[in-house]
Amino acid sequence: DAGITQSPRYKITETGRQVTLMCHQTWSHSYMFWYRQDLGHGLRLIYYSAAADITDKGEVPDGYVVSRSKTENFPLTLESATRSQTSVYFCAVTPPSNNEQFFGPGTRLTVL
Amino acid sequence: GQQVMQIPQYQHVQEGEDFTTYCNSSTTLSNIQWYKQRPGGHPVFLIQLVKSGEVKKQKRLTFQFGEAKKNSSLHITATQTTDVGTYFCAGPQGGSEKLVFGKGTKLTVNP
């Protein structure tokens, strides 16, 4: 949705490099999520955040780090990328009135 | 942990045929949501069902929530090529804002 942007949209990197994927919302919704999507696995939650400075692990957090110093931004960092982290990454937010999720356009990451 | 299972994983139909995808949760859900992801796109929220036995319609799409609130279905009548995509169901994990997604059903439609 227009209120969520992700950057970069495409990224190719090498094993061992650090990569940061950005997620920005134009609203000020509290809850933000990071998912990865792989064939045969659907959407798997990596990390989520309930508010600025509050983050928690999801289903597949290993190899990832998040921070949330500002409500609008929720960057996801791969500290030392591995080939198994090749995936499509989606950021999502939940408005306070209900728990439906609005997804960003995604980042396609390839780790060589 | 909580699991949400969807079947079938793939479905190929001729345009005009009906399509149904089924979702089953290992736990009782407070609500269930459905999303559609077009090829190359991102998941987009379709609908949320909250009540036991609830049925909601959106044009040719009919969504049902089971009486026990552990299963749901999405039925598309007379599919069109615009229905192509992957349909996901999702349920909240416990009382949190987190969602557990099914693996999705990928629908292809032959014109």
Lowest mean pLDDT among A14-23, A25-34, B6-15, B69-78: A25-34
pLDDT of A2? 61
Q: Kindly report, residue by residue over B38-64, the tens digit of the pLDDT.
A: 999 999 999 999 999 999 999 999 999
Residues of chain B contacting residue A43, judged by C-beta atoms under 8 Å apart? 43, 88, 101
Decide if pLDDT at B29 tops 90: yes
Decide if pLDDT at A1 tops 60: no
Cis, peptide link before residue A105, omega less than 30° from 0: no
To the nearest whole number, what is the mean pLDDT of chain B?
95
Nearest CA in chain A to B1: A59
Residue A95: band (very low, low, confident or very high) from pLDDT cuts 50, 70, 90: confident
| pLDDT > 70 fraction of chain B, expressed in percent and rounded | 100
pLDDT of A99? 80
B16's CB contacts (< 8 A; 6+ apart) are: B78, B79
CA dihedral A39, A40, A46, A48 (to 10 degrees): 100
The 3-state DSSP class for residue A70 equals coil
Euclidean distance between CA atoms A94 and A107, whole angstroms: 19
| Averaged pLDDT for residues A67-75 | 96
Euclidean distance between CA atoms B106 and A34, whole angstroms: 22
Give the tokens for residue B25. Answer: 């949760």
Contacts with A, B 58-77, CB within 8 Å:
none
| pLDDT > 70 fraction of chain A, expressed in percent and rounded | 98
| pLDDT > 90 fraction of chain A, expressed in percent and rounded | 85
Decide if pLDDT at B85 tops 60: yes
A103, A47, A50, A96: which is closest to A75 by C-alpha? A47
pLDDT of A97? 75
Of B42, B97, B104, the CB nearest to A42: B104
Nearest-CA distance from B43 to chain A in Å? Answer: 6
B38, B35, B9, B12: which is closest to B22 by C-alpha? B9
For chain A, the straight-line distance linking the first and the last C-alpha, in angstroms and rounded, comes to 30
Decide if pLDDT at B93 tops 60: yes
Q: Please tell me the total number of residues recorded for chain A in this structure.
A: 112
Q: What is the DSSP string of A2-66?
A: TTEEEE-SEEEE-TT--EEEEEEESS--SEEEEEEEETTTEEEEEEEEEETTEEEE-S--TTEEE
Euclidean distance between CA atoms A17 and A1, whole angstroms: 30
Euclidean distance between CA atoms A18 and B56, whole angstroms: 46
pLDDT of A65? 98
C-alpha count within 13 angstroms, C-beta hemisphere, residue A79: 7
Cβ distance B45 to A101 less than 8 Å, yes or no, reads yes
